[in-house]
């Protein structure tokens, strides 16, 4: 809890908002909803309620904080990391709930970029509630950057991951690919998989490599903000049948086979299922399809200090016949992982350099 401070002072406002943002960081991602925290302070400057959004279908942060505050919220101030919503979904509008509770002042950090839910500030003002917007907006926006991008795109984010030798081979000439990278790199893949809500692979990969597409869970390595009991959805893409004995059918979480080769259809279907962050493990053919459609937002490449000299490449034909059409990426991070190198990059369009 934040120590009692004179309500309305600049220092107190910043301290209470920092607390709201810290609470928001407890919210899970991926999730169809943003990560939000709320602090309710009474007229004397004492915290009487706190809350954060715990995932789709659960009470919003404001509702959770108001439930704890009860009648003590009347005449007080609500500090919220994101503009209170004016939308009825699985739960009612938070702006209406704050008005009904008798809150006299609302301070929020980030304006809601989701046009469907935005407008709470106007509702509050129309009801006579004092509203202040933009306090620590940058900090609040940072924890919802991926969610805000999904809202802007209207589709899940896609991270394409591959492993390759230094000469660009993702498998040997006989098709074998286990293991190009070392154990530490493979553990790192599981860490990153755990921060997504769907793992996608093509039927070719599933039939050839028989992967589980699950997350190997090590509690000390689980990322903050991820609910440990959840498991990413396993998604197989392609027209070929996958036998019931395939290992992709085993393990925690659900599995779905999307009988299509169209990446946009894949993402539209997953969006409707509430998926917001996709980890594309796919095979060269599926990777090329997503890249050609402009539907890759990030690339995570694990490069092993090894050579094969022959064998399939990490990505299939992109239709590029000359250097004039080369697809350049903007490197965002280079990290040594055990004996391998992890390179993270984004397409020029994502980096804003097209």
Active site residues: 62
Q: What is the C-alpha to C-alpha distance for residues 54 and 34, in angstroms, rounded to an integer?
A: 10
The tokens of 88 are what? Answer: 């009825």
Using an 8 Å Cβ cutoff, are 93 and 123 in contact?
Answer: yes
Using an 8 Å Cβ cutoff, are 138 and 20 in contact?
Answer: no
The tokens of 80 are what? Answer: 């919220």
Q: What is the C-alpha to C-alpha distance for residues 210 and 174, in angstroms, rounded to an integer?
A: 16
């Amino acid at each position: 809890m934040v120590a009692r401070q004179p309500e309305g002072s600049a220092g107190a406002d910043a301290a209470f908002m920092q607390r709201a943002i810290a609470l928001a960081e407890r919210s899970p991602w991926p999730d169809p909803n943003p990560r939000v925290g709320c602090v309710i302070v009474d007229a004397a400057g004492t915290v009487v309620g706190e809350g954060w959004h715990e995932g789709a279908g659960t009470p919003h942060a404001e509702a959770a904080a108001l439930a704890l505050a009860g009648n003590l919220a009347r005449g007080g101030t609500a500090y919220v990391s994101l503009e209170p919503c004016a939308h009825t979904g699985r739960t009612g509008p938070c702006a209406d709930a704050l008005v009904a509770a008798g809150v006299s002042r609302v301070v929020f950090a980030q304006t809601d970029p989701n046009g469907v839910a935005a407008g709470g500030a106007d509702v509050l003002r129309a009801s006579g509630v004092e509203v202040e917007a933009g306090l620590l907006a940058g900090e609040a926006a940072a924890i919802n950057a991926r969610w805000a991008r999904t809202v802007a795109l209207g589709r899940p984010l896609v991270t394409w991951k591959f492993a390759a030798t230094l000469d660009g081979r993702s498998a040997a000439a006989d098709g074998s690919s286990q293991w190009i990278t070392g154990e530490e790199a493979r553990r790192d893949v599981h860490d990153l998989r755990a921060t997504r809500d769907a793992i996608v692979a093509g039927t070719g990969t599933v039939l050839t490599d028989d992967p589980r597409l699950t997350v190997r869970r090590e509690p000390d390595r689980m990322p903050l903000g991820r609910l440990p009991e959840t498991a990413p959805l396993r998604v197989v893409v392609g027209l070929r049948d996958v036998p019931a004995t395939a290992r992709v059918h085993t393990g925690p979480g659900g599995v779905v086979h999307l009988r299509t080769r169209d990446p946009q259809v894949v993402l539209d279907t997953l969006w409707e299922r509430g998926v917001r962050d996709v980890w594309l493990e796919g095979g060269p053919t599926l990777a090329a399809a997503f890249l050609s459609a402009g539907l890759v937002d990030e690339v995570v490449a694990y490069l092993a200090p090894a050579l094969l000299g022959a064998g399939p490449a990490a990505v299939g034909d992109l239709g590029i016949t000359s250097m004039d059409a080369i697809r350049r990426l903007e490197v965002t991070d280079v990290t040594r992982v055990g004996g391998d190198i992890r390179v993270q990059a984004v397409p020029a369009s994502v980096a804003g350099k097209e």
